[in-house]
Amino acid sequence: MRIFVLFVLFLSVGAFAQQTKPAGESVSLPPIEGCTAIPDDGYDGTVASMACITIAGPTGEVISVEAEINMEHTWVGDLTYKVVAPDSTTLTLMSRPGLAEPADDGSDCCGDSSDLRLADTLTFRDGGATSAELMGSTIAGTQFVCGDDGLCEYAPTPDTGPGTSFADFVGLQAAGNWQVCVGDSGGLDTGNLCGANLVFDVYVPPPPVVPSTNFYGLMLLLLATLSAAVVVYRKKFI
């Protein structure tokens, strides 16, 4: 009986350890006025569980899109980034770098422990210099992505999340409300989403030519001139 109890306790400690972060680095950042506080350990795979910024898209058909994000957080491996189009097409830009999570549902622990600061803009584009899954992998847990490693441009890496690349949006109508969203999947470390931007390249078809009154008048004058010329021509040679 005593051996059985010890075995159960061992399993319980192991399960708890898988869901908690290493001690010594966890920091809670206070909310910033004008920014959106990211719900701590609130991400469950849905956009509703994320902090989002809404961006109005331009008129035209999407040729390409890029995303820029400014935020602060003390554990980048907690974070999932998504872009959501007006028709709900969703691209996961980043899914908890440093962690091979089994599903896009906020479970498991813990990912890379590097930090993000507001002064650094992270850019995501197809063909970006670094895979988003590698974010923070070259620096210590107390250093800043982009600011300390010089790696500020990333290629989308959805992992288990929806989407493949920004090419998923090509051909969609850009007009409407887009969202750039950030979710947090680990307790204790917090952050704020303070800025997001989408850079669009769109195709706008030329407007159809609608004949005006002047156009019709010009055509009638041209027709009358040609008719008169034919009459003169026939009179001269008959």
Cα–Cα distance list, 29 to 61, 116, 147, 181 (Å): 40, 11, 18, 19
What are the contacts of 95-102 at 24+ separation with CB within 8 A?
95/132, 95/133, 95/157, 95/158, 95/159, 95/160, 95/161, 96/159, 96/185, 97/132, 97/133, 97/134, 97/135, 97/136, 97/137, 97/157, 98/133, 98/135, 98/136, 98/137, 100/159, 101/159, 101/160, 102/160
* Domains, the chain, ordered by start: 35-202 (2.60.120.260)
Looking at every residue in the chain, the average pLDDT score rounds to: 86
Task: Tell me what the mean pLDDT of segment 26-53 comes to.
Answer: 95
3-class SS of residue 124: strand
pLDDT digits (tens, 9 = 90+) for 73-129: 999 999 999 999 999 999 999 999 999 999 999 999 999 999 999 999 999 999 999
Tell me the three state secondary structure of residue 21.
coil
- % the chain with pLDDT above 90: 74
Would you say the C-alpha torsion 175, 177, 182, 185 has a positive or negative sign?
Answer: negative
**What are the distances in angstroms from CA 140 to CA 118, 120, 148, 191?**
18, 17, 9, 18
Looking at residue 3, its pLDDT comes to 40
Using 50, 70 and 90 to split pLDDT, how confident is the model at 28? confident
Other residues' Cβ atoms within 10 Å of the Cβ of residue 70:
19
pTM, full prediction: 0.80
